[in-house]
Amino acid sequence: MASITMNNLVKKYDDGFPAVNDVSIDIADGEFLILVGPSGCGKSTLLRMVVGLEDITSGDLLIDGNRVNEKEPRQRNLSMVFQNYALYPFLTVYENIAFPLRLAKGKFSDDEIDKKVRNAAELLDLNDHLERKPGNLSGGQRQRVAMGRAIVRDADAFLFDEPLSNLDAKLRGQMRTEIAQLQRRLGITSLYVTHDQTEAMTLGDRVAVLKKGRLQQIASPRELYEQP
Ligand code: ADP
Ligand code: ADP
């Protein structure tokens, strides 16, 4: 696990307009930070800068105190959890979770892979479903498989890009509870992007509000809620 430090981050696309404008945020080791704001305020851009899918125009990005501006995504050791799960329909739950370890060819023995997959499945309460295919799982279970794949990589932090936005209201509520519980159990550093007010108020330790590329406010949900 690790801290994530954003120092005066700026992103200008080709048109020169800053999509992210002088944003500084410190995410402590183990902290769950929510990033909210209206559509077009720069949430996805900032997330993509952190994971390394978008160049940083200026400012510094540090993971555990080390500057990573120029590092490839794979060297940053962060795990993205997407809204569409991105599971392989023809692989079992076990093989879906094992996938990133098998990709790192030769790095892990079958025994090591087995241990890591079963540990993750235990944490996520997926042990009874390891031989099933994603198509036979509920939406919530699929989301947990996606998280299992993030966990086995021993990532330093999780990045969530509106992971619940495609779910219906009932499932969204259920997943919200599951993610909150999992975060408490794992205590893993997380940056969670959403435009959902309820998620912002219930999931995070702190909420950062972006507006037109700028950090407008950063506070605990309670502090934000109690403001006039
Ligand atoms: P959000 O995720 O909050 O909806 P984005 O980060 O997607 O916001 O977008 C922030 C701003 O940057 C918007 O004005 C958007 O039009 C612009 N933008 C996003 N991606 C690109 C791109 N690839 N090229 C040019 N402008 C972009
Ligand atoms: P590859 O074929 O190497 O997987 P990608 O373009 O999918 O190519 O990914 C390049 C790198 O980006 C990966 O090696 C990984 O480090 C990072 N990456 C891709 N997907 C994720 C993810 N879900 N979470 C974190 N990092 C990812």
Give residue 74 CA to ligand 2 midpoint distance, Å.
6
Q: From the CA of 11, give the closest atom in ligand 1.
A: 12
Minimum CA distance residue for ligand 2 atom 3: 74
pTM above 0.90, yes or no: no
Segment 21-44 mean pLDDT? 95
Return the bridge partners of 159, or none.
80, 191
**Residue 83 — very low, low, confident or very high, per pLDDT cuts 50/70/90?**
low
| Per-residue confidence (pLDDT) for residue 153, from 0 to 100 | 84
pLDDT at 49 over 70: yes
Average pLDDT across the chain, whole number: 90
Rounded CA separation 171/162 (Å)? 14
Would the CB of 79 count as within 6 Å of ligand 2? yes
79, 80, 154: which to mutate for ligand 2, most atoms within 8 A of CB?
Answer: 80
Give residue 97 CA to ligand 1 midpoint distance, Å.
32
The residue with tokens 């997380």 is 190
Give residue 45 CA to ligand 1 midpoint distance, Å.
6
Do residues 1 and 189 lie in contact, with contact meaning Cβ atoms separated by under 8 Å? yes
The proportion of the chain whose per-residue pLDDT surpasses 70, expressed as a percent, equals 97
Ligand nearest to the CA of 154: 2
Would the CB of 18 count as within 6 Å of ligand 1? no
Segment 185-191 mean pLDDT? 87
Do residues 163 and 81 lie in contact, with contact meaning Cβ atoms separated by under 8 Å? yes
Would the CB of 44 count as within 6 Å of ligand 2? no
Would the CB of 157 count as within 6 Å of ligand 2? no
Look up residue 22 and give its two tokens. 């002088």
Give residue 53 CA to ligand 1 midpoint distance, Å.
13
Segment 145-163 mean pLDDT? 87
pLDDT at 105 over 80: no
Would the CB of 227 count as within 6 Å of ligand 1? no
> What is this model's ipTM?
0.65
DSSP state of 28: P
